[in-house]
Structure 1
Amino acid sequence: MSALRVGSLAAATVAALAALAPGAAPAGAAMATQGIDYDLDGSPQPTPPRLNRLDIYRPDGAAAGDGRPVVVYVHGGGWRRGDKGLGIADKVSLFTGAGYVFASVNYRLSPDPPDPSYPPGRIRFPDQPDDVGEAIGWIDRNVSAYGGDPDRMILIGHSAGAQLVALVSTDPRYAGRWGVDPRQLVGTVPLDGVYDITSQAGGPRRALFYNAFATPAENAVDDAWALASPVRFAGPDDPEMLVVTQDDLPSRIAGSAALATALGPGRGAVLTVPYDHGEINAAVGGADDPAGETAAIMSFIDGALRAARPPRVRMTAHPARLVKLRRHGRRARVSFRFRAKGVAKGFECRLDGGKYRRCSSPRSYAVLRGRHGFRVRAIGSDGDRGEATRFEFRVVAPRR
């Protein structure tokens, strides 16, 4: 195994590997909830309906509100085959054994085998990333009930799934459509994918790309090849990535390095391993992983979670910007309601120049005439303080 040093992240990964033995985290029993419909907008069910389903696995004993990190897996299969349940046992054991909530996602598939006429009504881009984005939106809204923290999601995908998790991580429109903030995706692990569709669509596997993305005529209309290419969108505001690929395919190494480089200094690393395409996926949590791919991935996830920002706060109720004192009154009573976007251990509030103090919603104050500023921030599961949400208002005397 080797790592291409693309910024400081790669160096950190290599250093961490020296302290880790290859292999899976200790496996524990997992509680499974399977076949969850992640539809959020009432769209017609696909055929078969399982294509818009996801499975959730959680460690034995996990409970609502635990605030555990969430690992979301997207399967491969050339955008036309595969299922959320195939080859998943080792990953379930690995991630739930590490204390994480694990979700595996299906999505609509292009025709298999491809119809050489490429009918215009077939399932093709952007149907697949639209589905993955919607699944992440469902997870954001619901995973707290399964013990997960929607503000700390890690995406991992293999082959076609690698392209999909890389695209959803770099183009915020797919998950953002469902209210997911890009900061909720704290790290991404693409496993041996293709990240520049434009460079591949005219190659020897052109039928695969025409089927899943667009024919040249379709591409001339909707620019699908470029819009499906994560390397086009990658930048320093995207999640950190560990891009895993085969160590004997220069074209895959170059494509992975281009994606990591596009993320910017310290944001991406390429891990090359002596496995073939299928073995790279099977090694994640598997017993046969002499190169230490699993250890590298777990080290990367640990670092990404440590660097993740604490939950943000949404203010759900506040006073008017202009508050009038009651006649003969010296103070006005104002109240604020708020909640965390994700799982928070608690909150701290501050009025004007005072110190932050522990608080809960609703928080009320009696304030004098003049200008005032209220701030509230969440306390993350590790004790870190998040970015404060602010509200400015003014208290004035009543008209006479």
Structure 2
Amino acid sequence: MASNLRRLFGVTLGGLVLALMMACSPLKMLNALTPDGTFDKTEGIAYGDDPRQKLDVYVPRHPAANAPVVVFFYGGSWNSGSRSDYGFVGEALASRGIVAVLADYRLYPQVRYPLFLEDNAKAVAWTHEHIRQFSGNPQRLYLMGHSSGAYNAAMLALDPGLLGAVGLSPHDLSGWIGLAGPYDFLPIENPDVRPVFFWPNSPPQSQPINHVSHGAPPALLIASRDDNLVNPTRNTAGLAKKLREAGVPVRDFYFSRTGHATLVATLSRPMRGLAPVLDEVAAFVKDPPTQ
């Protein structure tokens, strides 16, 4: 009975927050409702010379020795977004004993593919080199992203050249997590995304699904069944199928009460009743699948 009441309260609160989000900035609302007692935050660390090449580190308030580390990349069609908008993600991961790194990166029109991926790789290299100073274990390093950020995580995990350029390899990753990611989207339909990938001459090597190979790190792929922006059947299910065919360990989940944007919002405390995304992420980081 108590668990049912908690579930009902979570759903009701989630519905109330959804209504409030319609009237103001959704991400600001989620951050305003995010507690700060679960983590210590170091912000504005430069991993490069450009003003956009900065990151924040969220450390659990009482971290375990050699805590796992997740580098998170936000979405925004590669033309918008800020790490400051996703404090609720840092809190969510820290609340589960995970050191979280939230990185900004250059966006269109300042850069196009693949330069933003080079920024992402530099952020991962900084994390690998320095995260022990924040109680994190670089040998338990994961990438995670939502929407276009999930694409970024996928490319770093699947295309060895990107991490290779900064002295790392996909083998240095314990796994990667994609939320509502576009992994197979040529020809590009979204007019905002077309110039990022040089449409109509978008290179096939820009697609994560074309980089799948045996030996890639384990993956956790999560999508919303009713996602009307990134087709979950073509992208999430399609990539999961190809990974399995290559012998890569993968878990994939599809939730019904979320959409493209609310999938990442379920990491926030007010929205967690909509889907167990945080539970699946924490379980994956604790015990990633093996062949």
Normalising by structure 1, report the TM-score: 0.59
Change (3 A) 1:239 1:27: farther
Equivalent in the alignment of 1:174? 162
- SS of aligned partner of 2:181: coil
Equivalent in the alignment of 1:36? 45
C-alpha deviation, 1:285, in angstroms: 4.1
1:232 aligns with 2:220: no
Equivalent in the alignment of 1:157? 145
**Which amino acid is 1:293 matched to?**
V
**Which amino acid is 2:193 matched to?**
F
C-alpha deviation, 1:78, in angstroms: 0.7
- SS of aligned partner of 2:100: strand
Per-residue CA distance 1:331-378 (angstroms, 9 max, x = gap): xxxxxxxxxxxxxxxxxxxxxxxxxxxxxxxxxxxxxxxxxxxxxxxx
Equivalent in the alignment of 1:321? none
Q: 75, 88, 99: which is aligned to 1:101?
A: 99
**Which amino acid is 1:181 matched to?**
S
Equivalent in the alignment of 2:279? 295
Aligned partners of 1:87 and 1:282 also within 8 Å = no
Superposition pairs for residues 22-61 of structure 1, below 5 Å? 29-39=38-48, 45-46=49-50, 49=51, 51-61=52-62
Superposition pairs for residues 1-400 of structure 1, below 5 Å? 29-39=38-48, 45-46=49-50, 49=51, 51-62=52-63, 66-89=65-88, 91-111=89-109, 122-199=110-187, 201=188, 203=189, 205=190, 207-216=191-200, 219=201, 224-249=202-227, 251-264=231-244, 265=247, 267-274=249-256, 275-288=258-271, 289-304=273-288
CA distance in 2, matches of 1:141, 1:176: 15
- SS of aligned partner of 1:164: helix
Which one has a larger percent strand, Structure 1 or Structure 2?
A: 1
**In the comparison of the two structures, how many residue pairs are matched?**
254
Per-residue CA distance 1:109-136 (angstroms, 9 max, x = gap): 003xxxxxxxxxx510001111001110
Aligned partners of 2:224 and 2:254 also within 8 Å = yes
Most deviating of 286-295 and 155-164: 286-295
**Which amino acid is 1:53 matched to?**
K
**Which amino acid is 1:149 matched to?**
N
Normalising by structure 2, report the TM-score: 0.80
Gaps of 5+ in 1: 1-20, 40-44, 112-121, 308-400
Compute the RMSD of aligned alpha carbons: 2.5
Per-residue CA distance 1:51-78 (angstroms, 9 max, x = gap): 1001111122549xx3211011101111
CA distance in 2, matches of 1:212, 1:292: 33
Which one has a larger percent helix, Structure 1 or Structure 2?
A: 2
- SS of aligned partner of 1:263: helix
Aligned partners of 1:28 and 1:59 also within 8 Å = no
- SS of aligned partner of 2:203: helix
CA distance in 2, matches of 1:209, 1:100: 32
C-alpha deviation, 1:303, in angstroms: 1.6
Per-residue CA distance 1:30-70 (angstroms, 9 max, x = gap): 1111111102xxxxx43xx1x1001111122549xx32110
CA distance in 2, matches of 1:60, 1:295: 19
Aligned partners of 2:160 and 2:170 also within 8 Å = yes
Gaps of 5+ in 2: 1-6, 11-34
